[in-house]
Chains A and B, each alone.
Chain A
Amino acid sequence: MKVDRTKQKNIFAAICLAPALILLAVFLLYPTIEVFRMSLYNWGGFSNNKEFVGLSNFKILWDDMKFIEAFQNSILLIVVVTLVTLVLSILFAALLTREKLKGANFFRIIFYIPNILSIVVIAGIFSAIYNPTNGLLNSVFGMLNLESLQRLWLGDQSIVIYSVAGALIWQAIGYYMVMYMSSMASIPESFYEAASLEGAGRITQFFSITLPLVWNNIRTTLTFFIISTINLSFLLIQTMTGGGPDGSTNVFLFYMYNQAYTNSVYGYGMAIGVVVFLFSFLLSAIVNAVTKRDVLQY
């Protein structure tokens, strides 16, 4: 009877898991292995001339100026987007949690809106904002008599990457803000009361209570920042700038996709994918190690 029940349970578990596991193997595991395998081949997309070339795709990558450009652009985006989003979302989260503001709930609802929009819509919105002749940003500068600040936001090679960063930051602030707010809300009020009895001001309270106690949450989100900036910048640039002008917004995955698709050098494209994948892991590990602090308990 007992043995029967165990066997029955095992069969039931197998039936429940099998469909999900099979699909995961076919549409997630196999393609991932393929990325690594294909990176070792020279393949033009026609199944006949597939040639094993070992690591030579990676050697070509090493000297590929276009890839190096994509690398620099991606790093710049990751750093700018991470720092600005982090500072702003922590600041706004702290203000919304600590200060008894009228309409705090309204602000929270509004700030989260960009996160629910399709990245294609965001690209459309920012094209309208950055339009050089009748875009919203230039016309606001015009109204304030600040014509000297008007720019070709998407046409000037030296600033276009920051224009893209602006869209990414706009999209991300609300999401991280909500995340930090929930961990800040769990800090006991008595900590702040004790601190203010000892004469600690708001800024001291923020740096000695709020920040240390949400530090772990911030560390976790740093990894998200890296991964999501790599991913979102690809999607945004695909729809907004197409990598231009003149490669100034070329980023990791955009370059990978174009090599594999438009130029049909699949093996080379997959080698880029492997490098980006390993790079994002390495970067996350470094960030994790650097930001390690003793976790405070309360």
Chain B
Amino acid sequence: MGALQKKTKDTKSVDRLYKIFIYVAMITLAISIIIPVAWVFIASIKQSSEFYGDPWAMPKGFYWKNFIDAFQEAKMGGYLLNSVLVTGMGITMLLALALPAAYVLARFEFPFRKTIRTFVRAGLFINISYIVVPIFLMLLEWDNGLRGMGGAGFFLNNRFILALVYATNALPFTIHLLSSYFETIPFDFEEAAYIDGASLFKTMTSVIIPMARPSIVTVILFNFLSFWNEYILALTLMPGTKKTLPVGLMNLMAAERAATNYGMMYAGMVIVMLPTLILYIIVQKKLTQGMTAGGIKG
């Protein structure tokens, strides 16, 4: 009897130690994420002179000039607009291209259907980092062709083209995700629409696509993050002044590290990450659910 009591007591204290250990591990990892991110926000309102002392010191005041400098001197305002335009156009084009393609691939029987599905799926394995150079060369060649005919360059330094390349690059994964969703919708809806005399196009746009709203939200979220954060294509295909935020930030980081104007650099980092953080806080549940539905990240 006594031994049994002692045993439960032992297990209890082991249990408590175990719980403490888990919390310590969890909190350590959480801190290693929260502190650096919060630190960037705090550093973004510090004056340059404050960067020489203790890195943990709180800022003496809100030094908003970092943000004004970032927007004006470092042109982050213009880059922000470019990022908004490229991301917006990219997502619009992606949906316009992927929704019809995913729909017919999931629901229709037609010649070469299997071949096309395999072709699209193979695209999942192509990583943009490998093909960025040939894409640049191809666009450069097209531009040179235009110049040869007496025109001006069009394909490089063009936000629309960059957005189109983003959309294309995202197609295999997006079509894969949307198709799997379309496959779960019963055929009855199409039959009913057909009996009502709706055209195939009308059935797709006003009956089936609205039903796919949850998966469309997932597609928008994931691609917003990847288009907004992308930089190797933006760096390569936009060698002129029309940069996107990550590329602008890269330049700012290189320049300000040399000039030790750290405040403006951290302000730039805040400008890049704030929109994604706000979006994440609003939709975090949908995002992590969608991730497990989709399975992979581009």
> A-side interface residues toward B, CB under 8 Å?
8-10, 12-17, 19-21, 23-24, 26-32, 34-35, 38, 47, 88, 91-92, 95-96, 99, 101, 106-114, 116-121, 123-129, 134-136, 139, 170, 173-175, 178-179, 182, 202, 220, 224, 227-228, 230-231, 234-235, 238-239, 253, 256-257, 260-261, 266, 269-270, 273, 276-277
Contact = CB atoms under 8 A, between A and B. Distances in A.
B23 interface: yes
B46 to A, nearest CB: 12
B231 A27 contact: no
B138 A31 contact: yes
Given A111-B33, A128-B40, A24 B172 contact: yes
Contact of B127 (A13, A23, A227): A227
Contacts of A17: 100-101, 104-105, 116
Given A13-B110, A266-B133, A124 B249 contact: yes
A72 to B, nearest CB: 20
B231 A95 contact: no
B45 to A, nearest CB: 15
Majority SS at the chain B contact face = helix
Given A17-B116, A136-B35, A178-B288, A24 B168 contact: yes
Interface residues of B, number: 90
Given A8-B200, A118-B231, A136-B55, A28 B169 contact: yes
Nearest 5 pairs of A and B residues by beta carbon = A16-B100, A118-B229, A31-B131, A31-B134, A34-B134
Contacts of A117: 37, 229, 273, 276
B101 A16 contact: yes
Contact of B138 (A30, A134, A202, A270): A30
A239 B253 contact: yes
Contacts of B171: 20, 23-24, 28
A121 B231 contact: no
Given A99-B22, A101-B26, A231-B129, A119 B105 contact: no
A231 B233 CA distance: 13
Interface string B171-198: 1100100000000000000000000000
B100 to A, nearest CB: 4
A56 to B, nearest CB: 20
B167 A118 contact: no
Given A34-B138, A134-B51, A120 B246 contact: yes
Contacts of B29: 88, 92, 107, 111, 173
A20 B169 CA distance: 11
Given A13-B104, A92-B26, A92-B29, 8 more contacts: A114-B33, A116-B277, A117-B276, A118-B228, A136-B39, A175-B291, A220-B295, A253-B129
B104 A12 contact: yes
B164 interface: yes
Given A114-B33, A117-B229, A136-B35, A27 B98 contact: no
